Amino acid sequence: MRIWLTGLCAVLAIVSAHAASPQYPLDSIDQRAQPCMACHGKQGQATRDGYYPRIAGKPAGYLLNQLRGFREGRRYFPMMTYLVELQTDDYLRELATYFADQQAPYPPPELPRVSAAALERGRTLVTHGDAALHLPACGSCHGSRLLGVEPAVPGLIGVSQDYLIAQLSNWRHGTRAALAPDCMAQIVRRLSQSDANAAAAFLAMQTVPADARADSAFAHPPQMKCGSIPNGGDSP
């Protein structure tokens, strides 16, 4: 409660500070985007607090899906709900497109916080999946370089371990959901907590390439059909 209230106060302070600023013309997209940066960092590149994720450069369709999710109750975080609950699709789409177009620097990779054996298990899950558990490789939905797929599948690298673990837990416990069929919920419920931690640790330690961008389309469409995204999957 204290964290989100502190963040909300910061957002409201930014709204007030920029409301009449000549640098941000009133009701321009630049002015509308400023409150988002209170938590998500300059240009949406994320901050050192890993629970506020990077939104810069993520596919616009993915960002729009998440904003709608907060508005419609498929995702729950009080501060986000407060900001979007009365906004129209057109308003949310403009914000999503704005941040999708931002090309901000990525953070350096994180040091692993799991054992070498767990890290190897994470590598296996991410790159190959686990047929015995009916788990696909992450790249089968999240792109050839795990940087996402247009128009609406996000990348998984350049995202903090804390955020990845938190979102996998939200899927597991039903505090985050997608339109049916909810493929991420199905996948996460097949993962043990140790496997989730291992995969998140492996992803967080990957270096983002200099030419980071989402794949333009699926080379091989995923075997699963997921409700939020045509021919693809919703995800962290």
Angle between helices 161-173 and 193-204 (to 10 degrees): 150
Q: Which of 69-73, 145-149, 176-180, 207-211 has the lowest mean pLDDT?
A: 176-180
Neighbour tally for 137: CB within 10 Å: 15
Average pLDDT over residues 57-83: 95
Average pLDDT over residues 32-37: 93
Q: Which CATH superfamily is domain 2-100 in?
A: Cytochrome c-like domain (1.10.760.10)
Q: Report the mean per-residue pLDDT for the chain.
A: 87
Q: What is the 3-state secondary structure (H, E, C) of 52-77?
A: CCCCCCCCHHHHHHHHHHHHHCCECC
Confidence band, pLDDT 50/70/90 cuts, at residue 235: low
Dihedral over Cα of 170, 227, 198, 67: its sign: negative
Which residue, chain included where needed, has tokens 């999503």?
96
Note the pLDDT tens digit of each residue in 108-141.
999 988 999 999 999 999 999 999 999 999 999 9
pLDDT reported for residue 26:
63
What distance, in Å, lies between the first and last C-alpha atoms of the chain? 22
Neighbour tally for 86: CB within 10 Å: 8
Please report, rounded to a whole number, the percentage of residues in the chain having pLDDT higher than 70: 86
- Considering the entire predicted model, what is its pTM? 0.85
pLDDT reported for residue 87:
96
The residue extents of the domains of the chain are 2-100
